[in-house]
Amino acid sequence: MLFDKIEIKNLKSKNRIVMPPMCQYQAKDGIANDWHFIHYVSRAIGQVGIIIIEASAIEPRGRISMNDLGIWDDKHIEPLAKIVAACKNHGANVGIQLAHAGRKSKVTDEAIVAPSSLAFSGQYALPHELAEAEIIEITEKFGSAALRAKKAGFDFVEVHGAHGYLINEFLSPISNLRNDKYGIDKSLFLKEVLEKVKASFPSEAPIFLRVSGEEYHPGGNHPETLASQLKPLTNLFDVLHVSSGGTIEKEHYDVFPGYQLEYAAKLKKLLGKPTIAVGRLEDPGLAEKALMENKADMIAIGRGLLSDPHWPLHAAQNLNIEIDWPESYLRAKGL
C-alpha cells in the first residue's frame, strides 16, 4: 500500500510517502535559498510523493527562529515558486506549512504573542496576550499567506496546529486561560484561520491540518478531547497530519518506532478524515503495516528522509516492489 496511488480532491500522488515539514534554519529574512532548493528537489528526485515545505511564518514574529522561512511578504513567492516547479517536474506534489510560533518564538526583534500571557519556559520570553482585534489580524495574515502559496503554485497548504505553537496554544487548556469567546471555545481561533485559508486557496485543492494528538499532560488535550474540538471543523480541512507533544517543556513519554501511530489511528476513526501518521516510521515494513491495518492513509518519513533522500527507492526494494527510478540512477538500482 505504501506505493499505491492516492487522490484527495485534485491532489493525485503516485505513492503514500510524505516528507513532513522539518525546519532547516537556513533562511535570511524568511527567503528560501539554494539550500532549500537542493534539499526539497533532491527528495522529489528520490520519489517522495508528497512534500510539505517546512514551517513558514505568516508574520515575522511568528517565526520559531530568526532563520525560519516566511510567507508574510510577496518577496517570498518567487524563490518558493522555483522550488515548487522543480519538485513538480520530478513528479512530487508540493505543499507548504503555514505557521505561527506564538509563545515559542525566539525572534529577537519582535514582541512575541500568545492567547494568554504565559511563558513556555524560563528560556522563553513572556508573551503579550492577544486582544480580539489582534487575533482577527492574525487570521487575516493566514489568509494572505494562503494567497501567496496559491501564487507560488503549491498543490496544497498545511495549517500548523501542533507542537505548542500559536494555534495549538489556543486549542490547549494548558496555554489558553482566556475568559472571552476564544477561551470558551478553544477551537474558534483555528476555525477562523481555516476559514480565511479556505477562502484564499483554490477550492479544488486540499487543506491539510497538523495537530498534536496527545499533549502528555493530565490537563492537556488527548485524542478524544482534540477530536471533540475538531469535529465541528471537518468541513474546513481535508487531511489530518497527526504527531504529538510540544505544549509543555518537560514531557515524559517513550520514543519508539511508531510511537505516535495510535494517536493517528484514533483520530482517523473519530473524525473520518484521511490521515498522515508520523514518528520513527522509517522501517518500510512498519510503514506498510500501519497502512494495511488502516491506522493511517499516508506515512510521513522525517528523519529517514534527512538521512536518505532516496528513501522511497530503497523502501520499494526492501518491500520487493517495482517502481520507476530516475533514469540517471538506473545503474545503481541493483546495488
pLDDT digits (tens, 9 = 90+) for 306-329: 999 999 999 999 999 999 999 999
Q: Say if CB 88 and CB 156 are below 8 A apart.
A: no
Which string of DSSP letters, residue by residue, matches 235-272?
Answer: GG-SEEEEE---SSSS------TTTTHHHHHHHHHHH-
Which DSSP state fits 74? G
Residue 334 has pLDDT above 90, yes or no: no
Q: Which helix (H) or strand (E) holds 209?
A: strand 207-212
pLDDT digits (tens, 9 = 90+) for 220-249: 999 999 999 999 999 999 999 999 999 999
Amino acid at 265: A
Domain 6-332: assigned CATH number? 3.20.20.70
Please report, for the chain, the start and end positions of each structural domain, with discontinuous segments joined by +.
6-332
Give the residue-averaged pLDDT of 268-290. Answer: 98
